[in-house]
Amino acid sequence: MIGKLNHVAIAVPDLEAGTAVYRDTLGAKVSEPQEEPDHGVVVVFVELPNTKIELLHPLGEKSPIAGFLAKNPGGGIHHVCYEVEDIEAAAEKMKAEGARVLGDGSPRIGAHGKPVLFLHPKDFCGTLVELEQA
C-alpha cells in the first residue's frame, strides 16, 4: 500500500542550528523557515535528490511538537511520511488491520495542503507514521 518516502520530520530545539547542520555541515539545499500556524510549527525543508527532510520547530502555545521536545530536549526524529494513492482507502485498511489512526480517525489536510493521517507509534515499531495522499 505505501509508496515513496515523502519526508522524514525531525524536531529541533534550535531551528537555526539545525538548519546550519544540514546546510553547512551536510551540504544540503535548505529552504527559508516557513511558519505554519495551523499546524503549530515552523518548518525548514531540506531537499534531497530522493526525498525531503523537514526540520520542525514549535510555533505558538499549543504546538504538537512541544511535548516531543520536552521529552527529547536535543531533538530527534518526530515522524516519517509515506505516500499513498488513496487516503480514504488507507484509513479504512488501517482500521481493518487494527491500527490506531490518531485524531478522529478521518484524514485531514496536512502541512502540504494534501490529505494526511497519522498512525499511533505503538502500532508501527515505535515510530509516528504519517500517510499522505500523493
Smallest Cα–Cα separation from 12: which of 43, 34, 37? 43
- In the list 53, 81, 117, 131, the residue contacting Co ion (rule: CB under 5 A) is 81
- For Co ion, the binding residues in 3-22 under the rule CB under 5 A are 9
65 binding Co ion? (CB under 5 A):
no
Question: Which string of DSSP letters, residue by residue, matches 59-86?
Answer: -STT-TTHHHHHH-TT-EEEEEEEEES-
Q: Known catalytic residue: 130?
A: yes
Stretch that binds Co ion, among 31-39, 83-91, 100-108, 122-130 (CB under 5 A): 122-130
Contact 107, 95 (CB under 8 A): no
User: C-beta of 7: minimal distance to Co ion in Å?
Assistant: 6
Residue 98, Cβ neighbours under 10 Å: how many? Answer: 7
**Who contacts 100 (Cβ-Cβ below 8 Å, separation ≥6)?**
119, 120, 122, 123
User: C-beta of 78: minimal distance to Co ion in Å?
Assistant: 8
Catalytically annotated residue among 54, 83, 130, 132: 130
User: C-beta of 8: minimal distance to Co ion in Å?
Assistant: 9
Residues marked active site are found at 130
- Which parts of this chain interact with Co ion (CB under 5 A)? 9, 81, 130
